[in-house]
Structure 1
Amino acid sequence: MLSVYDGFFSGGARILHSDVVLGLREGGQHHRVLSVHGEVLREATRQTMRDDACYRSLTAAGVEVTSLGRTFGLSGVPAVDPGVFSGPELAETARAMAGADVVLSLKEQPLGLLNQGGLPRRPVIVCLHRSDPENQGGALAELKAAIADGTVVACVCCAESTREAYRAAGIPAELLHVIPNGVDLLRFRPDPARRLRTRDALGIPETAPVVVFAARYDAMKNVPLFLRAAHAWLRREPAGHVLMCGAGMTGDQPGLAADIREAFGDDTRLTERLHALGVRRDMETVYAASDVVALTSSWGEAAPLCLIEGMMCGAVPVATDVGDSALIVSGHGHLTPPDPDVIARAWTEAVAARTDLAPVLARSRERFSRTRMIASYADLIDRVHAQAMRPTAPEREPALPEPPLPDPL
């Protein structure tokens, strides 16, 4: 198996896919990963492949990870046409593909590379993790071209909303397979010891209500809406604390700093209970320390990993109605309109209901199991591989003309 990433940078899709690769490897498949980019500037954060948590987890497990070495967004580095690849880049890609039976493309962006002529023919499964195919630049066109060419033979949709969006965008329904996201239930679980330890490290009292927002600094996450809700909630809850995690979620990020000033105005005393933690590699401890996991996204989400991870650690989900959030939150938390005051009230209600909802969240664990997810991926890959190995029927040679009958005596 070969997985092709556009790059290693902070985001739920990369976390999820890397966990899929590790799970499939645990099941006996041999995997390697090829990354188009080796270093990027995203969310005002310089992110290198070798410092990435997913890269480290893959290589620690013995998965070979290589890169074409491209960069994106770095100051002083000339921009490279994303649709043009050099001879050495194509040779490296061909070597990686030659050793694979099936190729997984993490989202549709790597198809710009995989659609290049002269590469080995291998069946490609595209793993789709968003619900806005029309908002992905030229990626949708690359996906359609790869399907028409016969290169892409299946698409994994992490959510029902993903399948519906891509079907509406013209992708054949028979290629779209829904495999809902799942998480490691041994890692993501309620843990009183983690809860106390993390709160103590952050200076948060044991009984204080805590809301966590796990998202990169990106327009689709609607950070200004979240901050307006945080302002309203912190004014209402004098003991409350708000945690923000993800790329760009740091105090020295100019965009975030401006958003905080806009949302909080002169209430700077409230920002003392607003914790910008940046990228964390111990999200299970952050979720365990929280009472509510919040999502305020405006578009693009499919099956937000933060909601699932937070729920499995005992935090009550409160989300806007985007992607499959309604299906995930139903019966477990609150769905809200994009109104900061309504969101703040929902956070308060969620904190109050946390104890009563704990048994409900516990009963949902099997539904969000990583084991279930990995088994579904393995089944689809096996079917694709079996189809690729099936011999094609040979073309029938034209029938020879019957010999003429002998002349009657």
Structure 2
Amino acid sequence: MLSVYDGFFSGGARILHSDVVLGLQEGGQHHQVLSVHAEVLREATRQAMEDDACYRSLTASGVEVGSLGRVSGLPGGPDTDSTLFTGPELATTARAMAGADVILSLKEQPLALLNQAGLPRRPVIVSLHRSDPENQGGALDELKAAIADGTVVACVCCAESTRAAYEAAGIPAEVLHVIPNGVDLLRFRPDPARRLRLRDTLGIPDSAPVVVFAARYDAMKNVPLFLRAARAWLRQEPDGHVLMCGAGMAAGQPGLHADIDAAFEGDLALADRLHLLGVRGDMETVYAASDVVALTSAWGEAAPLCLIEGMMCGAVPVATDVGDSAAIVAGHGFLTPPDPDAIASAWADAAAARADLAPVLERSRERFSRTRMIASYATLIDQVHTESFRPPLPEPPLPEPL
């Protein structure tokens, strides 16, 4: 198996897909990964492949990871972010593909590479992780071309909203397969020791209510709305604290600071209880230390990983109605309109209901199991592999002459 990534940078889709690769390798498949980009500047954060947590996890488990060496967005440096691929890049891709029976494409962006003429013919499965195919630049056209060509034989949708959106955008229903996201239940679980340790590090009392926002700094995440809700909630919760983590959620991000200034209007006493944690490699600890996991996205979400991971660690989810968030939150937390006061009120209700909802969250764990997800991926891959090597049917006999 070969997985092709656009690049290694912080985000739920890469975390999820890398976990799938690790799980499939644990199950006996042999996997390698090819990344188009080796380094990118995204969300005002310089992200090199070798520094990424997913890269380190894959290589530590024996998965070979290579790259075309491209860079994107770095100030003063070369920018090879284009769909024009060089001879050496295509040769590297061909060598990686030649040793694989099936190709997994992490989202549709790598199809700009995999659709190039002259590469080995291998069946491709595309994993889709958003619910806004029309907002992905030329990637939707690449996906349609690859399906028409017979290169892409299946698409894994991580949510029903993804399947519906891509079918509405013209992708044939028969290639769309829904495999809901799952997480490692041994890693993501309530943990009182982790909870106390992180709270102690941040100077947060054990009894204080805590809201976590795990997202990259991107317009779809609606960070200004989250910050307005945070101000409203911190004003009514004098002991409350808010954690923000993800790419761009750090002290050196000028856009984030401008949003904080606009939302808090110079109220430094409230802003002091806003903790900017940046990219974290211990999200199980961050979630375990929290009472509420928040999502304020405006569009594009499918099955947000933060809601699932947070719930499995005991944090009550509160989300806007995007993608499959309503289905994930139903019975486990609260759905809100995109209004800061309504969101702040829901956070207060969620924190107060945390103890009562704990048994409900515990009973839902199997639904969000990584084991279930990986088994479904393995079944689809086996099916694609078997059908791709099925011998052609014999030609029907010619009719007897009259």
> Which TM-score band applies after superposition, normalised by the shorter structure?
over 0.9
Counterpart secondary structure, 2:388 = helix
Structure 1: how far apart are the matches of 2:254 and 2:84?
Answer: 33
- Alpha-carbon shift at residue 147 of structure 1 (Å): 0.2
Q: Distance in 1 between matches of 2:140 and 2:244?
A: 32
Q: Which residue of 2 aligns with 1:363?
A: 363
Q: Aligned equivalents of 2:13 and 2:114: distance in 1?
A: 19
Aligned partners of 1:252, 1:115: CA distance in 2, in Å? 39
Taking the TM superposition and a 5 Å limit, the aligned residue runs for 1:121-200 are 121-200=121-200
What is the aligned partner in structure 2 of residue 249 from structure 1? Answer: 249
Deviation at 1:393, TM superposition (A): 1.8
Letter in 1 for 2:371: T
Summarize deviations over 1:167-222 as a string: whole Å, max 9, x none: 00000001000000000000000011110011001110010000000000000000
Q: Which has the larger radius of gyration?
A: 1
What letter is aligned with 1:123? P
The answer for the alignment partner of 1:38 in structure 2 is 38
> Which whole-Å CA distance do the structure 2 matches of 1:303 and 1:98 have between them?
33
Distance 1:2 1:394 in 2: 31
- TM-score, length of structure 1 as denominator length: 0.97
- Alignment map for 1:179-258 (pairs within 5 Å): 179-258=179-258
Identify the residue that residue 93 of structure 1 maps to in structure 2.
93
What is the identity, as a one-letter code, of the residue corresponding to 1:109?
Q
Aligned residue for 2:97, secondary structure, equals helix
* Partner Cα distance (1:395, 1:263) in 2: 71
Q: What TM-score do the two structures reach when normalised by structure 2?
A: 0.99
Aligned partners of 1:93, 1:318: CA distance in 2, in Å? 42
Task: Note if contact 2:210-2:241 (Cα within 8 Å) is conserved in structure 1.
Answer: yes
Q: What is the aligned partner in structure 2 of residue 275 from structure 1?
A: 275
**Offset at residue 252 of structure 1 (A):** 1.5
Distance 1:401 1:81 in 2: 62
1:269 counterpart SS class: helix
Q: After the TM superposition, which residues 323-338 of structure 1 pair with which residues of structure 2 at under 5 Å, given as runs?
A: 323-338=323-338
CA displacement, residues 143-165 of structure 1 (integer Å, 9 cap, x when unaligned)? 00000000000000000000000
Task: Supply the RMSD in Å over aligned alpha carbons.
Answer: 1.0
Aligned partners of 2:72 and 2:81 also within 8 Å: no
What's 1:405 paired with? none
In the TM superposition, what whole-angstrom CA distance separates every residue of 1:327-349 from its partner, at most 9, and x where no partner exists? 00000000000000000000000
Structure 2: state its 5+ residue gaps: none
Q: 2:272 aligns to what SS in structure 1?
A: helix
Q: Which amino acid aligns with 1:322?
A: V
Aligned partner of 1:119 in structure 2 is: 119
Aligned positions, number:
402
Match in the other structure for 2:54: 54
- Runs of 5+ consecutive residues of structure 1 not aligned to the other structure: 403-409
1:83 CA displacement: 1.4
Distance, in Å, in 1 between the alignment partners of 2:342 and 2:86 is: 52
State the Cα distance separating 1:106 from its structure 2 match. 0.2
Give 1:396 deviation, angstroms: 4.7
2:318, 2:336 within 8 Å by CA — same for their partners in 1? yes
User: Alignment partner of 2:40: what SS?
Assistant: strand
Question: Which residue number corresponds to residue 390 of structure 1?
Answer: 390
> How far does residue 76 in structure 1 lie from its aligned partner after superposition?
1.7
How far did residue 367 of structure 1 move?
Answer: 0.1
In structure 1, give the amino acid aligned to 2:151: T
Runs of 4+ with deviation above 6 angstroms: none
Q: CA deviation at 1:394?
A: 3.9
Structure-2 separation of matches of 1:252 and 1:93: 36
SS at match of 2:109: coil
State the alpha-carbon separation in 2 of the partners of residues 330 and 316 from structure 1: 11
Letter in 1 for 2:157: C
Aligned equivalent of 1:313 = 313
Would you say the 8 A contact 2:70–2:79 is kept in 1?
no
Partner of 1:75: 75
Counterpart secondary structure, 1:47: strand
Which amino acid letter does the alignment assign opposite residue 361 of structure 1? Answer: L
Distance (Å, rounded) in 1 between the aligned partners of 2:105 and 2:350: 38
Spell out, residue by residue over 1:96-140, the C-alpha distance to the aligned partner (whole angstroms, 9 max, x if none). 000000000000000000000000000000000000000000000
Matched letter for residue 334 of structure 1 = F
Code of the residue aligned with 1:120 in structure 2: it is P
CA contact (8 A) 2:108 2:140 kept: yes
2:14 maps to what in 1? 14
3-state DSSP class of the match of 2:144? Answer: helix
Q: Describe the superposition over 1:32-65 as per-residue Cα deviations: whole angstroms up to 9, x where unpaired.
A: 0000000000000000000000000000000000
Q: Deviations along 1:361-407, whole A, 9 cap, x unmatched?
A: 000000000000000000000000010010112445756868xxxxx
Distance 1:171 1:253 in 2: 38
Per-residue deviation at 1:80? 2.9
The answer for the alignment partner of 2:26 in structure 1 is: 26
